[in-house]
Structure 1
């Protein structure tokens, strides 16, 4: 059962949405957060999905979403009446996974939530892959720099420098990039 956190950014009551979610089989958390309390409530309640009901997302709401997305990312569905293209881009940039204009109906809730979950999972996978590739690139740069240090200081060929790095990594039971970092630090220390 998915746990849903409702955030009300309007003056209108959200009992209708709460009831529709419960009828669809979702657990609706008791804490109905205001945008200013969003991060604290998300960290405390750990919902599976955050739903924001708003006439038009305010700058404060978007800022709080951006903070939440970086500190405690969750799929976010925003129901609004504002179809402004700049606002849509700002909302997606702040972490909104699904931006739904012109209200909701009970039968649309489940598919919208499922799309938000799927899209969030895909974005999470892509962010993870990007971080992995960026780390590999940073490691490769360290290794190349360490090879350069060995080639310069010990008059080695590139193949010999790489083999030296590899052997040292195996001896230490360390990653190649960690040994490269040590060599660079030592070279910087010795000048």
Structure 2
């Protein structure tokens, strides 16, 4: 499946040129906008992989639109800014806004396509990193649940730490429930539904 791209520029000729360059390379242009306000709305509705956006536009410029997209958006979209200006201040402002790549006009196919590939590659790396971080957070949260449930068992059944952990593992295997889910149920329902006997009883 080809990447989904939104093209934003107040000049319809430039939009058409960029669209043609992208489509020749097999990319899918999901939509076009002529200013930053339309860009924000399109991105919210279409959730594209990449936005190619001019900086200087009426109503709302590309940097302001980038800032809003970054604030409002749940799904990460790469943003490639196009501009006729190459001042250092603008580059810094674009970077701080969360732009993935930056091209100075006029844009040729030789410049555009590699920049698109880099921006999309960065998006994939960020998505992968985000996924890894979420998995790590889930793992830490799961560990905390198991530790809390283990502490509850130690207190209510007068067990040592090792014994409490073994009990949790035994019930988890017997009931075919993952340890974090079992821990959650113990913390919400109490120990009795799962452990009727006290240590040495």
The TM-score bracket by the shorter chain reads: 0.7 to 0.9
| CA RMSD, Structure 1 to Structure 2 (Å) | 2.6
How far off its partner does 1:58 sit? 4.4
Which residue in 1 is equivalent to 2:198? Answer: none
Change (3 A) 1:29 1:127: closer
Tell me: higher relative CO, structure 1 or 2? Use CA pairs within 8 A at least 6 residues apart.
Answer: 1
Q: How many Å separate the matches in 1 of 2:187 and 2:34?
A: 50
| SS state at 2:11 partner | coil
The structure 1 segments of at least 4 consecutive aligned residues displaced by more than 4 Å after TM superposition are: none
How many aligned residue pairs are there? 179
Unpaired stretches in structure 1, ≥5 consecutive residues = none
How far off its partner does 1:158 sit? 1.2
Which residue in 2 is equivalent to 1:19? Answer: 17
Larger Rg: 1 or 2? 2
Which residue in 2 is equivalent to 1:160? Answer: 163
* Comparing 144-153 and 26-35, the one that deviates more: 26-35
Which residue in 1 is equivalent to 2:69? Answer: 64
Q: How many Å separate the matches in 1 of 2:76 and 2:168?
A: 39
**In 2, are the aligned partners of 1:36 and 1:61 still within 8 Å (CA)?**
no
**In 2, are the aligned partners of 1:48 and 1:75 still within 8 Å (CA)?**
yes
Unpaired stretches in structure 2, ≥5 consecutive residues = 192-201
**In 2, are the aligned partners of 1:21 and 1:28 still within 8 Å (CA)?**
yes
